[in-house]
Amino acid sequence: MRIHVRLFAGLNRYVTNKPSGIPFDAEIPEGATVEALIRHLGLPPDEVRIVFVNGRAQPLNFALADGDEVGIFPPIGGG
């Protein structure tokens, strides 16, 4: 299945030629979880803090569906 991925706040440096916040597609097996996607992308798991799927924060064991929009963040804060 195809997932639309966006990486933020420096996580894009682990995936070649992907600027921050610009969506790209990842092909992963049907029913794969957020955790599997992170592994597929080669992101260091301890640098991932928050994962949004279609605008809702989801846990690592959340099962993705074809066409999902996923945004991945390291720990960040501001105000």
Partner 1 sequence: MWILRLNMSDLSYRLEEVPAKYQHLGGRGLTSTIVHDEVPPLCHPLGPNNKLVFAPGIVTGTPAPTSARVSVGAKSPLTGGIKESNAGSSWAQHVANMQIKAIVVEGQAKGYHLAHLTWDAASGKPKVEFMPANEYAGKDLYEVFPKLYAKFGDKVSIAGTGNAGEFGYGNSGIVFNDMAGRPSRYSGRGGMGAVMASRGLKFIIADPKGAPGVVIKDKALFDEGRKKLIDALRTHDITKPKGGLNTYGTAVLINIMNEAGGLPTRNFASGRFEGAAKIAGEAIFEGNKKRLGKELYNHACSPGCIIQCSNTWHKADGSEHVSCIEYESDWSLGANCGIDDLDDIGELVRLCNAYGLDTIEAGTTLAVAMEAGIIKFGDGKGAINLMHEMGKGTPLGRILGGGTAFAGKAFGLTRVPTVKGQSMPAYEPRAVKGIGITYATSTMGADHTSGYTIAPEILGVSGKVDPLSPEGKAALSRAFQATTAFIDSTGHCLFIAFAILDIASGFEGMMEECNGVLGTNWKSEDAAKLGAEILKKERAFNEAAGIGKEADRMPEFMKYEPLPPHNVVWDLPDSALDSVYGEL
Nearest approach in angstroms of CB 57 to partner 1 is: 7
CA–CA separation, 50 and 38 (whole Å): 11
Stretch that binds partner 1, among 1-9, 28-36, 37-45, 60-68 (CB under 8 A): 1-9
Q: Which residue type does 42 have?
A: G
CA–CA separation, 6 and 21 (whole Å): 5
Is residue 5 within 8 A of residue 41, CB to CB? The reply is yes
Cα-based torsion angle of the residue sequence 3, 56, 6, 67 in order, rounded to the nearest 10 degrees: 20
**Scanning residues 12 to 31, which ones bind partner 1 (CB under 8 A)?**
19-22
Nearer to partner 1 among residue 42 and residue 77 (C-beta) = 77
Binding mask 31-60 for partner 1 (x = CB under 8 A): ------------------xx-x--xxx---
Contacts to partner 1 by CB under 8 A: 6, 8-10, 19-22, 49-50, 52, 55-57, 71, 73-79
